Structure 1
Amino acid sequence: MRRRLIVRLHKILHTLGAGGLTHGFVKEGVPVVAGIDLDPACAFPYEANNPGKFIQTDIKQLTVDQLTKLFDDADLRVLAGCAPCQPFSTYAQRYELDGKDGKWGLLYEFARLAKGTRPDVITMENVPTVAKHEVFHDFVDTLKRLGYYVWFDVVDSSRYGVPQTRRRMVLLASRHGDIRMIEPTIDKPKTVRQAIGRLRALSAGEAAPRDKLHVSSTLSEKNLKRIKVSKPGGTWRDWPEAS
């Protein structure tokens, strides 16, 4: 899967994907130099939605010198990395993860680049269960030995305005003093209706002609019946026996 890393400028560097994290930085007024990812499919969505350039490479092959050149003479350097979450997910726990998976050790590559470039601020996010694994604690210990103040905790994005219950492990590290996530910005999570209720209703399989993101999946009659009898917070046990 993807091996990500990004550069953003003030400067910021980050492990990439399709560029959602970069976009968040840009919207908050933080200039981004570049995003780095192994997957060429990330290039179009990244560059179409962000001013930073896309660099296709494996961060295992990325050198400290290359990263330093991207940061150039910035007064403040931010390194943001998001190692693929598959090895650390609950789903993957049925397998024995012993470090042989190529994606498993990417946090060590992140630590290598952090040690070589010493950015002012480092951030990463992953699934909450990443904290159960040695590689994560090795990463934290490395940052602390380098003199960083490190904070990490599981963050519920619904407390920050995202209409979804999405819990992620977030890590922040700074060379300049204590750093931590801001307090939740809302008390009551935003509902899906509040977020997209303004969009017109679609039938199963229909797509809005002027909004390519507003699409409804094609559903069988059986699944349509199941949806109609489903209850908020319910389960498949709410469905009629014939379903």
Structure 2
Amino acid sequence: MTSTASRRPILDKPFVLDLFAGPGGLDVAGHSLGIPSLGIEWDRSACLTRYAAGLDTLHADVSAIRRDAFESLPPESNVLAGGPPCQTYSVAGHGAGRQALDRVREYIERLMAGESDQKIDEDLKTLSDPRTALVLEPLRYAIQATRSPNRENRPYDVIVLEQVPAVAPLWEHYAKVLEETGLPDRTKYKVVVDVLATETYGVPQTRSRAVLIARREGLGEPSLPAPTHRSYEAKEWNRRNGTSEPGQDADQVHQPTLCEGTASSKSDADLRPWRSMRDALANPAGTHPGRATPFLVRSNYGSSGNPGRRGVRTDRQPAATVTGRISRFVVFEHLDENIVHEGPRFSMNEAGMLQSFPPDYPWSGTAQAQQVGNAVPPLFGAHLLSAALGLPRPAPEALRKPWQPATEEQRTKLRSNGCGAADTCTDRCPRPKDQVPPPSSVRPPRSRKASAK
């Protein structure tokens, strides 16, 4: 269910608590809407990026904060948001989470029945990959809020969650129990769930996400954000434009017969064309000098496991799903119709812009490509928050101005608050060795065809 009707804000002063906040995608979205937030993130480098960007942050384990320091969280937070780590659910991972869906549903039922955290935690230790249990944390936070003296036992008004499409069945179960059973204190929510395509919200990238938006009963019916841009159909593009490997029919690739994002139905007529990599990168912005066009990008990774979205794309198409492998994507530039050469690969600034981060976002620390790939696309996040809170949808240009990084004084203050010291991590921060969970012992079953070889 989507809505294009005029909206009225449902909260006077929204304040977002962002679980698994990463380098700041959802916080940047909130910033563009004038909404304050606090992010909890356990990866040190992602926190360094957040401090450099000027975002309020706790360098901490989401689970540990819930267990040991929930009362220290801002009591004014009334929007719970988050995208739990997806590795065990993603089609690119080993699939421990996908194979544990039924067990996770059972844990949801037990949490809603008011079973003790201690008993739940003990049983969760039997999961083959501990990251699988992190998808339960938003629900556990929602329950904990109703037991918090610091909040006067006040539940969150709005919940916004996003994850890889494989988690959609769990979001559906979240919706069922939030609507029918309610939290242990009997608070109930109205909920919508669906899988959305980010390019239909102006992100220059094909990326599918399972989304949940919930509003506490009495705050009106929630709706999903209405698309603003047309959907990208890879098969249609390839059929009409002859996309191919570098050096093969390059003139055909760059003389398309179909305009980007051409409406495929009457309902598409009022939508903008989807945004391409050229739209995002061709022109100078901040310190980004602009990328020469035309170009081709070759990746070995697609969008949500859809083979039709893998392989080679031109600059006139959206990027394939931006993951931690974005720095490995090979970029070919055309010298003329028949000759190509390998050009510079995407910088982190460019990779961030393909995720819809503003130019000059201050990526910091190590594993920056992984930070970019793990982030919520800020423009997509802005659409989610706008729909959840009854705000006007964000302007298409909202996130295209260069980001102003924090001053050194601001970074020092943010790190003092987030880590406990102005220039270093402290004992309250997660230990580096704990930041990489053990690899999943579960592997997807081999197909009969593969086994026969």
What is the aligned partner in structure 2 of residue 84 from structure 1?
A: 85
Give the match's secondary structure for 2:65: coil
Name the CA distance, whole Å, in 2 between partners of 1:36 and 1:136.
21
Give the match's secondary structure for 1:10: coil
The within-5 A match list for 1:94-243 is 97-98=99-100, 99-117=127-145, 118-132=155-169, 135-144=170-179, 145-146=182-183, 147-175=188-216, 176-186=219-229, 187=271, 188-198=273-283, 199-201=290-292, 228=340
Name the CA distance, whole Å, in 2 between partners of 1:88 and 1:26.
29
Checking the alignment, whether the CA contact within 8 Å between 2:85 and 2:131 is kept in structure 1 is yes
Question: Counting strand residues as a fraction of each chain, which structure ranks higher?
Answer: 1
What is the aligned partner in structure 1 of residue 59 from structure 2?
A: 56
Structure 1: which amino acid aligns with 2:83?
C
| Identical-residue share of aligned pairs (%) | 31
Name the CA distance, whole Å, in 2 between partners of 1:43 and 1:218.
26
Quote the offset at 1:71 in angstroms: 2.7
Structure 2: which amino acid aligns with 1:97?
Q
Q: Deviations for 1:4-27, whole angstroms, at most 9, x for unmatched residues?
A: xxxxx8321012111111111111
Quickly say closer, same or farther: Cα 1:155–1:68, change in 2 above 3 A: farther
Quickly say closer, same or farther: Cα 1:58–1:219, change in 2 above 3 A: closer
Do residues 14 (structure 1) and 49 (structure 2) align? Answer: no
Quote the offset at 1:70 in angstroms: 2.1
Structure 2: where are the runs of 5+ without partners? 1-12, 101-126, 146-154, 230-270, 284-289, 296-326, 333-338, 342-453
Quote the offset at 1:218 in angstroms: 9.5
What is the aligned partner in structure 1 of residue 321 from structure 2?
A: none
TM superposition score normalised by structure 2: 0.40
Quote the offset at 1:111 in angstroms: 0.8
TM superposition score normalised by structure 1: 0.71
Name the CA distance, whole Å, in 2 between partners of 1:21 and 1:125.
10
Structure 2: which amino acid aligns with 1:182?
P
- Bigger-Rg structure (1/2): 2
Deviates more, 1:181-190 or 1:20-29: 181-190
Name the CA distance, whole Å, in 2 between partners of 1:172 and 1:184.
16
Name the CA distance, whole Å, in 1 between partners of 2:160 and 2:329.
39
Checking the alignment, whether the CA contact within 8 Å between 1:22 and 1:50 is kept in structure 2 is no
Alignment root-mean-square deviation, CA: 3.2
Checking the alignment, whether the CA contact within 8 Å between 1:155 and 1:168 is kept in structure 2 is yes
Name the CA distance, whole Å, in 2 between partners of 1:170 and 1:35.
19
